[in-house]
Structure 1
Amino acid sequence: MNPLYEPFPDYVVVNDKRVRIVTDFREYIKLIDLLKDDEVNTIEKAELIMSWFLDEPAGEFSECLQALSDFVTNYRGRETRSNREEENDQESEEQHNTPVISYNQDAPYIIAGFLECYGIDLIEVPYMHWWKFQMLIDGMNEDCELKKRMGYRSIDLSKIKDKEERERIRKIQKQIAIVDRVVTSEEIGDAFGNMMF
């Protein structure tokens, strides 16, 4: 999919049939919060997750969940779940699994970053597609506080040779460490997978 000339999808494909889904970014932040909520049991989560589908999905529950999981984690359209499973590059896999953003903890920086970089007030905007939201975060300038935090969190300290620089970055990482439970792309897929009946 090329967003420069194709519209963002408002559906997923289940059993070769398009099924319309909710696409606003707020809803997917809620979904991620739901997945990490240990107080909601698996059956309740499954029932709640079905509310993200606007049409009655045709097919097995597991196929519906896989389609929604792919939508949540695959906004670039570059890699499918099977491609991720086949990836052999251990280093890039470790980087991919390292959480660099928390939608709860970083909420003030996300809001400020959208205002600073794009003039978009996320509190006031009535709708924004989940994929557009993700793309805009990726495209924020590196001077933005959110991107700085994400950058520092992604640094592998073992690759920094200078001891003083390593210590400086370690202190920064400790100050901005994500303290709430973050759900990675793989965990989203696993969470959906664990619900498959």
Structure 2
Amino acid sequence: MTYLIKGLPNTIDVNGRKVAINTDFRTWIKYEEIMLKEDEKAQNQVLEAIDACLEENFMMSDLDELESLFDGFLWFYSLGKKTDGISKTKEEDKKESEFTNSSLVYSFEHDWAYIYSAFMECYNINLLTANLHWWEFKALFEGLNEKCLFSRIMSYRSIQITSKMSKDEKKFYRTMKKIYALPDERTVEEKENSFARSMMASMQI
């Protein structure tokens, strides 16, 4: 049954138990930031993530339950995409690669003003006061009008400069890339690997 009919989830499955989570989009922006901290100890990441994402205290009996909890976090964060720990099928990898190549050229930390203005322009939503479910926020985020400045910025960052472009085009896109470059120079793949390492480390404490 489609989520448009049954509504968006507010729990995750942890070894057969329904566990209430904080669905606010701010929580999952924080979750992403926590899991991408390379200088953070895995144990601290685990505790921060649990504290941020759970609506109530959750007693874990063993590491298997901890792993199931973080599988649930990852499932919710990725909008219900099937996950099996960190591993994915080749087909899921391909689909995720296609998605990330076009949409993960942003930083919630450094692009907050662009994102705020994009939501105001496209939806008249004030993100400083809005009450949005994470999945609702992401659906709107991915559907931003191509004409808004933030969409153009993401396009500049992701575009590949090729020999087929004219001299003026190459100059223009290099300039735009420089103007709108993010402080974090890691590639999408490196960020994904960093995220995966954090997830794997959290399973081994």
**1:113-135: CA deviations, max 9, x gaps?**
1111111111122x211111111
TM-score with structure 2 setting the length: 0.79
| Equivalent residue runs for 1:1-197 within 5 Å | 2-38=2-38, 40-51=40-51, 52-55=53-56, 56=58, 59-72=64-77, 74-75=78-79, 77=80, 79-81=81-83, 84-87=88-91, 93=97, 96=100, 99-125=104-130, 127-158=131-162, 161-164=164-167, 165-180=169-184, 184=191, 187-197=194-204
Q: Answer 1 or 2: higher relative contact order, Cα 8 Å, separation at least 6.
A: 1
Cα distance in 1 for partners of 2:181, 2:144 equals 20
Give 1:84 deviation, angstroms.
4.0
Q: SS of the residue aligned with 2:22?
A: coil
> What one-letter code is carried by the residue in structure 2 that aligns with 1:162?
M
> What one-letter code is carried by the residue in structure 1 that aligns with 2:199?
F
Cα pair 1:97 1:185 within 8 Å, conserved: no
> What one-letter code is carried by the residue in structure 2 that aligns with 1:81?
T
Q: Greater shift after overlay, 103-112 or 50-59?
A: 50-59
Cα distance in 1 for partners of 2:170, 2:20 equals 48
Cα pair 2:12 2:19 within 8 Å, conserved: yes
Cα pair 1:10 1:20 within 8 Å, conserved: yes
Cα distance in 1 for partners of 2:192, 2:82 equals 12
Cα distance in 2 for partners of 1:189, 1:38 equals 11
Q: SS of the residue aligned with 2:13?
A: strand
Cα distance in 2 for partners of 1:88, 1:29 equals 23
RMSD between aligned alpha carbons? 2.8
Aligned length: 192
In the alignment, structure 2 segments of 5+ residues that lack a partner are none
> What one-letter code is carried by the residue in structure 2 that aligns with 1:170?
R
